[in-house]
Structure 1
Amino acid sequence: MGKELEQVNESTHNHDMCGTSERKSHHSEAVKKNLTTRLNRIEGQIRGIKGLIERDTYCDDVITQIAATQSALNSVGKLLLEGHIKTCVVDRIEEGDSEVLDELILTIGKLMKK
Structure 2
Amino acid sequence: MPRRSAQTNEATEKENIVHLPNNQQNKDEVGNLSRMLAALLDYLSDEEVDEIDVQYILENTEGLREWWNLNRENNRKLIEEEIRESLGELSLEELQRIREHIKEKQD
TM-score range for the pair, normalised by the shorter chain length:
0.3 to 0.5
TM-score after normalising by structure 1: 0.34
TM-score after normalising by structure 2: 0.35
Answer with 1 or 2: which has the greater Rg.
2
